[in-house]
Amino acid sequence: MDFSSFLTSLGTSFAIFVILMLLFTWLSRKPGNSVVYYPNRIWRGLDPYENGARTRNPFAWIREALSSSEEDVIAVSGVDTAVYFVFLTTVCRGRFSLLIVIIPLPTNMSTFLPHIVLRLPANVRNSAANVRNSATRVPAYSHFGPTRQSWTRHKAVIPRAGEAALVFKLVTSRLHEVLGILVFSGLVLLPLLLPVAATGKYVPETNSTSSGTFNDLDKLSMGHIKPNSPRLWAFVIATYWVSFVTYFLLWKAYKHVSSLRAAALMSSEVRAEQFSVLVRDIPPSPEGQTRKEQVDTYYKTIYPESFYRSMVVTENKQVNEIWVELEGYKKKLARAEAVYALSKKTGKPEGTRPMNKTGFLGLIGKKVDTIEYCNEKINELIPKLEAEQKVTLREKQQASALVFFTSRVTAAAAAQSLHARMVDTWTVMDAPEPRQIIWTNLPKSFYERQIRQYVVYIIVFLTIVFYMIPIGFISAFTTLGNLKKLLPFLKPIINQDVIRTVLEAYLPQIALIVFLALLPKFLLFLSKAEGIPSESHAIRAASGKYFYFIVLNVFLGVTVGGALFSTLKTIEKKPNKIVSLLGSSLPANATFFLTYVALQFFVGYGLELSRIVPLIIYHLKRRYLCKTEAELKEAWAPGDLGYATRIPKDMLIITIVLCYSVIAPVIIPFGVIYFGLGWLVLRNQALKVYVPSYESYGRLWPHVHTRILAALILYQVTMVGYFILKEFRSTPVLIPLPVLSFIFAFVCSKKFYRFFQSTALEVACHELKETPNMELIFRSFIPPSLSAEKSDDDHFEDALSHVSRSGSFA
Minimum CB distance to its own copies smaller for 274 or for 595: 274
Q: Which residues contact 386 (CB under 8 A, 6 or more apart)?
A: 788
- Rounded Cα distance, 97 and 285, in Å: 64
- Output DSSP code: residue 304: T
In the complex, the smallest distance separating the C-beta of residue 407 from its own copies, rounded to whole angstroms, is 10
Q: Which amino acid is it at 379?
A: N
In the complex, the smallest distance separating the C-beta of residue 766 from its own copies, rounded to whole angstroms, is 7
Residue 648: half-sphere exposure toward Cβ, Cα within 13 Å:
26
- Rounded Cα distance, 635 and 515, in Å: 27
In the complex, the smallest distance separating the C-beta of residue 753 from its own copies, rounded to whole angstroms, is 8
Minimum CB distance to its own copies smaller for 440 or for 758: 758
Q: Which residues contact 61 (CB under 8 A, 6 or more apart)?
A: 24, 25, 28, 53, 609, 684
- Rounded Cα distance, 311 and 567, in Å: 60
In the complex, the smallest distance separating the C-beta of residue 809 from its own copies, rounded to whole angstroms, is 6
Minimum CB distance to its own copies smaller for 345 or for 750: 750
Helix (H, G, I), strand (E, B) or coil at 355: strand
Interface ranges with its own copies (CB under 8 A): 258-259, 262, 298, 301-303, 305, 409, 412-414, 416-424, 426, 450, 750-755, 758-763, 765-766, 808-810
Question: Which letter, b or e, does each residue of 706-733 get, where b requires 16 or more Cβ atoms within 10 Å of its Cβ?
Answer: bbbbbbbbbbbbbbbbbbbbbebeebee
Minimum CB distance to its own copies smaller for 86 or for 374: 86
Q: Which residues contact 695 (CB under 8 A, 6 or more apart)?
A: 78, 79, 80, 264, 433, 536
In the complex, the smallest distance separating the C-beta of residue 475 from its own copies, rounded to whole angstroms, is 35
Minimum CB distance to its own copies smaller for 248 or for 755: 755
In the complex, the smallest distance separating the C-beta of residue 252 from its own copies, rounded to whole angstroms, is 14
Q: Which residues pair with 397 in a beta bridge?
A: 314
In the complex, the smallest distance separating the C-beta of residue 240 from its own copies, rounded to whole angstroms, is 23
- Output DSSP code: residue 400: E
- Rounded Cα distance, 578 and 561, in Å: 12
In the complex, the smallest distance separating the C-beta of residue 673 from its own copies, rounded to whole angstroms, is 35
In the complex, the smallest distance separating the C-beta of residue 223 from its own copies, rounded to whole angstroms, is 35
In the complex, the smallest distance separating the C-beta of residue 301 from its own copies, rounded to whole angstroms, is 5
For 733: left if phi > 0, alpha if psi spans -120 to 50, otherwise beta; the answer is alpha
Q: Which amino acid is it at 325?
A: E
In the complex, the smallest distance separating the C-beta of residue 800 from its own copies, rounded to whole angstroms, is 20
φ/ψ of 355, rounded to 5, equals: -120, 155
Minimum CB distance to its own copies smaller for 153 or for 766: 766
Q: CA dihedral defined by 126, 131, 133, 138, rounded to 10 degrees?
A: 160
- Rounded Cα distance, 307 and 300, in Å: 6
Minimum CB distance to its own copies smaller for 301 or for 343: 301
In the complex, the smallest distance separating the C-beta of residue 255 from its own copies, rounded to whole angstroms, is 9
Minimum CB distance to its own copies smaller for 298 or for 723: 298
**Is residue 661 exposed (0-12), middle (13-18) or buried (19+ Cβ within 10 Å)?**
buried
Q: Are 687 and 77 in contact (CB under 8 A)?
A: yes
Minimum CB distance to its own copies smaller for 265 or for 474: 265
Minimum CB distance to its own copies smaller for 206 or for 268: 268
Q: Nearest-CA neighbor of 96 among 193, 153, 157, 180?
A: 180
In the complex, the smallest distance separating the C-beta of residue 739 from its own copies, rounded to whole angstroms, is 13
Q: Nearest-CA neighbor of 581 among 561, 596, 553?
A: 561
Other CB atoms within 10 A of residue 438 CB:
16
Q: Nearest-CA neighbor of 222 among 667, 705, 676?
A: 667
- Rounded Cα distance, 517 and 529, in Å: 20
Helix (H, G, I), strand (E, B) or coil at 282: coil
Q: Are 276 and 404 in contact (CB under 8 A)?
A: yes
Residue 411: half-sphere exposure toward Cβ, Cα within 13 Å:
26
- Rounded Cα distance, 172 and 500, in Å: 39
Where in 126-198 does DSSP place strands (E)? none
Chain-centroid distance of CA 93 in Å reads 23
Integer CA distances (angstroms), 260 to 90, 255, 727, in order: 14, 9, 47
Minimum CB distance to its own copies smaller for 117 or for 282: 282
- Rounded Cα distance, 331 and 325, in Å: 10
Q: Which residues pair with 367 in a beta bridge?
A: 357
Minimum CB distance to its own copies smaller for 487 or for 761: 761
Minimum CB distance to its own copies smaller for 258 or for 655: 258
In the complex, the smallest distance separating the C-beta of residue 758 from its own copies, rounded to whole angstroms, is 6
Minimum CB distance to its own copies smaller for 140 or for 282: 282
Minimum CB distance to its own copies smaller for 391 or for 423: 423
Minimum CB distance to its own copies smaller for 178 or for 764: 764
Write out the DSSP string of 588-602: GGHHHHHHHHHHIII
In the complex, the smallest distance separating the C-beta of residue 740 from its own copies, rounded to whole angstroms, is 15
Minimum CB distance to its own copies smaller for 409 or for 607: 409
Integer CA distances (angstroms), 190 to 106, 112, 664, 665, 704, in order: 11, 14, 10, 6, 27
In the complex, the smallest distance separating the C-beta of residue 663 from its own copies, rounded to whole angstroms, is 33
In the complex, the smallest distance separating the C-beta of residue 302 from its own copies, rounded to whole angstroms, is 5
